[in-house]
Structure 1
């Protein structure tokens, strides 16, 4: 089990903290590993193999000149979700590094944004090179505001 999965299980499973507080603890801890993620104040809601979700709260610090969540904040959320997904999904004998990102902005991000990263287990089991992680950002009303792929380079650990 990966360190990220252990942290999720421990922080969300502590009875006296409760799941909502545990998710906040996990989100803060994860953001310290890669401090740039803290700029969007992600709130992880689902962390499981092949599926991760987090919320980017709409606040002044992530808004652009028209008052919507900035495109780069959306990308930051996608990368955070992808990173957590990769850590909890990748087989123990492999390693990963991001290689590129292909994103389309499809609507205004005018609310809190739920960012979703997804893969299929077969992608990881047979990975020797490229793995494409599907990512999307969704408004509170269900409208997809950005979507794309983050390409990872996956190789055997040496």
Structure 2
């Protein structure tokens, strides 16, 4: 399978398309790979090894009864960012699967939300199959509305 970071870079660097349209094309294609991601309409803005970011637009379809972005929509955004990071970072001889999520809601999600996933390069080189990915969601004003860890199980391919 092609490296997701390479696909993002190619999609966003087409001279005819430009980076903004390329972001949208990549995001649409990524959301088709796991259809439940399409419900949040993610727009990836950064996809590289050890770091991925996407924006969840605040719109009626992802709001709760309070008019804020729903907690599950936020978790879907964090998982999509983590998935792009994992596919961009994992060594070719390994595979990953989500094992769990430990999340804290820290503020109301009252705007578009930028979902960020991060790891350190050395996390992918060890023998420990448990790999924590740091995740957070940030409002337009810089306030963190959700943060935590998505735990991956990383093993050798058979």
After TM superposition, the score normalised by the length of structure 2 is 0.97
Go from structure 1 to structure 2 and tell me whether the alpha carbon gap of 1:152 and 1:66 turns closer, same or farther (over 3 Å shift).
same
Taking only aligned residues, the RMSD between alpha carbons, in angstroms, comes to 1.0
- State the alpha-carbon separation in 1 of the partners of residues 128 and 94 from structure 2: 9
- State the alpha-carbon separation in 2 of the partners of residues 121 and 3 from structure 1: 16
Contact 1:128 1:156 in 2 (8 A): no
Structure 2 residue runs without a partner (length 5+): none
- State the alpha-carbon separation in 1 of the partners of residues 39 and 77 from structure 2: 10
After TM superposition, the structure 1 = structure 2 runs for residues 68-147 of structure 1, keeping only pairs within 5 Å, are: 68-147=68-147
After TM superposition, the score normalised by the length of structure 1 is 0.97
Structure 1 residue runs without a partner (length 5+): none
Give the length in aligned residue pairs. 158
Contact 1:2 1:88 in 2 (8 A): no
SS at match of 2:149: strand
What is the match of residue 56 of structure 2? 56
What is the match of residue 150 of structure 1? 150
Structure 1 outlier segments of 4+, above 3 Å: none
- State the alpha-carbon separation in 1 of the partners of residues 38 and 83 from structure 2: 14
